């Protein structure tokens, strides 16, 4: 499964491909004054790509659903006065047409839309034959296949200037973040498509101003290619996402202090450390193989004594004991529980295989 990204990275006219690529602007275009004031301040601070939501997906009807086509004229004024490139969210073929007619330079597909293959396909069809960069946000649910599928649909329409935006995932246990980052998902996307620019959206992950700086730094530490950050000239009075928007000067302060890591060079000492990791992984594999072998021997015993495969008290005891051991070793107990749930699942699968075969007498040394 490949993406055809012949022009990648995004190749945006007038924007040097330095890392990180920064896109900034308000969650929503509210009034002409708010759009212009925010844009002027961001442009003064060196921002080159301006974002603003013109059509807003709202969870319930009756909220502020964006100014629509009227706001596109304000965006055009931003470009004329500041020279910044423009980007907005499109969710339907009509949005695509209106945005392209207004000269929007980069389109993005929102998280709710990415989750719906019918909508993504309708957008892809509207984009056929058009050369415009498109950024695809991750779907609201943590499903990398759905995200990849959305990217492929857009790519199949001939869009080669393609990028992905990681904005986090809805989750039942929202503790710190508005949308759980689940970094392993964007990391896996990067592994699958190393040429695909991957941009982090700390605003929608964090949902809170004070989380933007640490999340942006984490994105850099993980080698992400850019950031899209919500910024508003008067954040507290914003009509949407007020808690997560930053004053342009605060954004500037944060970007100034961002440590951008080099993700290209591999040093000698890291090669040595990686060799040690490879060896440890081999050891883990050996241990797991042995553990499964013993588990199959136990299955022979259970079969002989007509016992059922799953003994829930034993299983609970393993989960609890290992989680405690893990936390004493500095690991998250949940991580250890998750690992043991997987090991147990494989163990049960192998024991069921043994149960299917005719019983054999236990060997002398079993």
220 binds, options Mn ion, ligand PEP, none, Cβ within 5 to 8 A by partner type = none
Residue 109: how many CA atoms within 13 Å on its side-chain side?
33
Three-state DSSP at 266 gives coil
146 binds, options ligand PEP, Mn ion, none, Cβ within 5 to 8 A by partner type = none
**Which residue, 204 or 303, is less far from ligand PEP as judged by CB?**
204
To the nearest whole angstrom, how small is the minimum distance from the Cβ of residue 53 to ligand PEP?
5
**Binding status of residue 111 toward ligand PEP by CB under 6 A:** yes
* Token pair recorded at residue 212: 């933007």
Which distant-in-sequence residues (6+ apart) come within 8 Å of 199 by Cβ? Answer: 21, 23, 135, 163, 164, 165, 166, 224, 225, 226, 227, 228
**Which residue, 109 or 124, is less far from ligand PEP as judged by CB?**
109
**Binding status of residue 202 toward ligand PEP by CB under 6 A:** no
To the nearest whole angstrom, how small is the minimum distance from the Cβ of residue 238 to Mn ion?
9
**Which residue, 224 or 336, is less far from ligand PEP as judged by CB?**
224
167 binds, options ligand PEP, Mn ion, none, Cβ within 5 to 8 A by partner type = ligand PEP
Please report, as residue ranges, which positions from 300 to 359 form the binding site for ligand PEP (by CB under 6 A).
Answer: none
**Count of chain residues binding ligand PEP (CB under 6 A):** 8
DSSP class of residue 62 equals T
Bridge partners (DSSP) of residue 163 are: 135
**Binding status of residue 110 toward ligand PEP by CB under 6 A:** yes
Of 3, 24, 27, 150, which lies in the binding site for ligand PEP, with binding defined by CB under 6 A? 27
Which distant-in-sequence residues (6+ apart) come within 8 Å of 149 by Cβ? Answer: 117, 120
**Binding status of residue 49 toward ligand PEP by CB under 6 A:** no
d(CA 254, CA 258): 6
d(CA 220, CA 111): 22
d(CA 253, CA 186): 26
The residue with its CB nearest to ligand PEP is 110
- Residue carrying structure tokens 């009034």: 31
**Binding status of residue 120 toward ligand PEP by CB under 6 A:** no
Give DSSP secondary structure letters for 190-215.
HHH-TTS-EEE-HHHHH-SHHHHHHH
Angle, CA of 170, 176 and 177, to the nearest 5°:
35
137 binds, options ligand PEP, Mn ion, none, Cβ within 5 to 8 A by partner type = ligand PEP
Nearest alpha-carbon partner for 115 in 92, 154, 143: 143
Of 53, 133, 206, 248, which lies in the binding site for ligand PEP, with binding defined by CB under 6 A? 53
**Which residue, 182 or 238, is less far from Mn ion as judged by CB?**
238
**Binding status of residue 86 toward ligand PEP by CB under 6 A:** no
**Binding status of residue 167 toward ligand PEP by CB under 6 A:** yes
Binding site for ligand PEP (CB under 6 A): 27, 53, 57, 110-111, 137, 167, 204
């Amino acid at each position: 499964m490949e993406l055809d990204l012949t022009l990648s990275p995004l190749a945006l006219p007038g924007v040097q491909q330095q890392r990180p690529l920064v896109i900034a602007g308000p969650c929503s275009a509210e009034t002409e004054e708010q759009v212009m004031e925010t844009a002027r301040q961001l442009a003064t601070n060196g921002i080159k790509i301006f974002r603003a939501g013109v059509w807003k997906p709202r969870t319930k009807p009756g909220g502020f659903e964006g100014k629509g086509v009227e706001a596109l004229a304000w965006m055009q004024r931003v470009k004329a006065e500041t020279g910044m490139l423009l980007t907005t969210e499109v969710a339907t073929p009509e949005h695509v047409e209106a945005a392209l007619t207004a000269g929007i330079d980069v389109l993005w597909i929102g998280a709710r839309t990415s989750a719906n293959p019918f909508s993504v396909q309708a957008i892809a069809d509207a984009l056929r034959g058009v050369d415009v960069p498109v950024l695809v946000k991750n779907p609201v649910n943590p499903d990398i296949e759905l995200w990849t599928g959305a990217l492929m649909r857009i790519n199949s329409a001939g869009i080669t200037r393609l990028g992905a935006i990681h904005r986090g995932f809805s989750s039942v246990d929202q503790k710190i973040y508005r949308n759980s980052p689940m970094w392993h998902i964007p990391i896996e996307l990067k592994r699958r498509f190393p040429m695909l620019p991957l941009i982090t959206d700390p605003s929608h992950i964090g949902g809170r101003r004070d989380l933007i700086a640490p999340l942006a730094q984490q994105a850099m530490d993980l080698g992400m290619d850019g950031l899209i950050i919500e910024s508003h000239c008067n954040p507290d009075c914003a009509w949407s996402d007020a808690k997560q928007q930053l004053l342009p000067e605060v954004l500037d302060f944060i970007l100034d202090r961002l440590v951008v890591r080099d993700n290209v060079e591999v040093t000698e000492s890291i090669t040595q450390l990686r060799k040690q990791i490879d060896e440890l992984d081999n050891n883990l594999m050996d241990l797991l193989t042995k553990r499964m072998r013993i588990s199959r021997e136990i299955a022979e015993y259970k079969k002989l004594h007509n016992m059922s495969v799953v003994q829930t008290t034993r299983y609970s005891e393993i989960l609890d004991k290992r989680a405690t051991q893990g936390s004493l070793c500095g690991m998250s107990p949940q991580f250890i529980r998750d690992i043991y749930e997987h090991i147990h699942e494989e163990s049960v699968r192998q024991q069921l295989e043994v149960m299917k075969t005719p019983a054999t007498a236990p060997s002398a040394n079993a």
